[in-house]
């Protein structure tokens, strides 16, 4: 596929309609996507990753009680005036950096939780005939170059569909969408592997590999042709993986092992791990955070030794 045939990726879909039940009661009122990772909410980390990759239109697939998400990215004149008058220019810059410009934020609703595939289908009329990215806000990827930017670089070589993958233990494949590459690795000069098949949450004995789909996708609009059938798959839900699988062999389909570390921030443990990881890299508090972690680990060791001695 020549460069002239590869349409640029300018739109991204963020499925944010979930209830966040694993974080109750913290998410009784606050959307889980607004829970803070270090100094900014989950959704802003993912927004910044998309913006770095050249995304210009940000499509939120929302549900009830999610108004706080759009408010976060809106212009806040009173707050900016207060920060300006107090000379807090560093904080003012951070606030302005979190704003989306006019005509960049689009909202659509998923009225019922029918699966990730259904959530993506809800954005079909906003995507139209364009390629688009999907970013799951629960997944944070800490990397020198954003994961989606890495994917766009691969997409500009291959066109078609690109998914980010990482290896998981064989016994845990039943939790993920798993990629079948037919044993092929990345061709010379590229970072991507051709995808031969996709299986949603396979039994470990049936899994074609240990490469799991990790919550970052670049897809062609033809995926909506299959999502619109509303066929249910694993868990009785409309699965994005099943619709993507039907594109294989008809369009280029590439899996990319990204550089970076992923955190499942939709789980309580992953959320804590992400906070520690991001805070330890913070230029203002990183040194103190790392020392706090060392001190805490040392105290745990002492407590364990004391308990063993009793």
Domain boundaries, the chain: 3-266, 267-310
At 66, is the pLDDT very low, low, confident or very high (cuts 50, 70, 90)? confident
- Look up the pTM and report it: 0.89
More confident call, 224 vs 4: 224
What is the fold of 3-266? Spore Coat Polysaccharide Biosynthesis Protein SpsA; Chain A (3.90.550)
Average pLDDT over residues 71-99: 88
Asked whether the predicted pLDDT for residue 48 surpasses 50, the reply is yes
Would you say 241 and 134 are in contact if contact means Cβ atoms under 8 Å apart?
A: no
Alpha-carbon gap, residue 31 to 113, rounded angstroms: 15
At 63, is the pLDDT very low, low, confident or very high (cuts 50, 70, 90)? confident
More confident call, 53 vs 18: 53
- For 194, list phi and psi in degrees, rounded to 5: -70, 135
Q: What DSSP string describes the chain?
A: --GGG-----EEEEE-----GGGTTTTTTS-GGGSEETTEEHHHHHHHHHHHTT--EEEEEE-TT-HHHHHHTS--HHHHHHHHHTT-HHHHHHHHHTPPPTT-EEEEE--S---HHHHHHTTHHHHTTS-EEEE-TTEEEE-SS-HHHHHHHHHHHH-SEEEEEEE--GGGGGGSEEEE-TT--PPTT-SEEE--EEEES--GGG-S-SEEEEEEEEE-TTHHHHHTT----GGGS--HHHHHHTTBTTB-EEEEE-SSEEEETTSHHHHHHHHHHHHHT-TTTHHHHHHHHHHHHHHHHHHHHHHHH-
Each residue's pLDDT tens digit, 26-47: 888 899 999 999 999 999 999 9
Average pLDDT over residues 257-275: 94
Least confident of 64-68, 205-209, 250-254: 64-68
In percent, the amount of the chain with pLDDT more than 90 equals 57
Q: What is the pLDDT of residue 234?
A: 67
Asked whether the predicted pLDDT for residue 57 surpasses 90, the reply is yes
Q: What is the pLDDT of residue 4?
A: 53
Asked whether the predicted pLDDT for residue 132 surpasses 50, the reply is yes
In percent, the amount of the chain with pLDDT more than 70 equals 95
At 102, is the pLDDT very low, low, confident or very high (cuts 50, 70, 90)? confident
């Amino acid at each position: 596929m020549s460069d002239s045939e590869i349409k640029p990726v300018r739109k991204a879909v963020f499925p944010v309609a979930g209830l966040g039940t694993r974080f109750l009661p913290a998410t009784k009122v606050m959307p889980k996507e607004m829970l803070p990772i270090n100094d900014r909410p989950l959704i802003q980390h993912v927004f910044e990753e998309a913006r770095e990759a050249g995304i210009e239109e940000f499509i939120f697939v929302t549900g009830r009680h999610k108004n706080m998400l759009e408010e976060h990215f809106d212009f806040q004149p009173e707050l900016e005036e207060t920060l300006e008058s107090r000379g807090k220019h560093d904080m003012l810059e951070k606030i302005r950096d979190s704003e989306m410009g006019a005509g960049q934020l689009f909202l659509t609703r998923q009225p019922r939780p029918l699966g990730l595939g259904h959530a993506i289908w809800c954005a079909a009329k906003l995507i139209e005939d364009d390629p688009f990215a999907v970013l799951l806000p629960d997944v944070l990827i800490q990397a020198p170059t954003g994961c989606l930017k890495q994917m766009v670089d691969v997409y500009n070589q291959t066109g078609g569909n690109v998914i980010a993958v990482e290896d998981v233990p064989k016994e845990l494949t039943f939790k993920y969408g798993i990629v079948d590459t037919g044993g092929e690795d990345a061709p010379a000069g590229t970072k991507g592997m051709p995808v031969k098949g996709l299986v949603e949450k396979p039994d470990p004995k049936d899994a074609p590999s240990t490469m799991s789909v990790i919550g970052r996708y670049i897809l062609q609009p033809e995926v909506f042709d299959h999502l619109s059938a509303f066929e249910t798959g694993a868990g009785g839900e409309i699965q994005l993986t099943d619709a993507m699988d039907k594109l294989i062999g008809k369009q280029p389909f590439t899996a990319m092992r990204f550089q970076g570390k992923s955190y499942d921030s939709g789980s309580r443990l992953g959320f804590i791990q992400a906070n520690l990881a991001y805070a330890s890299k913070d230029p203002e508090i990183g040194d103190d955070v790392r020392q706090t972690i060392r001190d805490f680990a040392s105290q745990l060791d002492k407590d364990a030794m004391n308990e063993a001695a009793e």
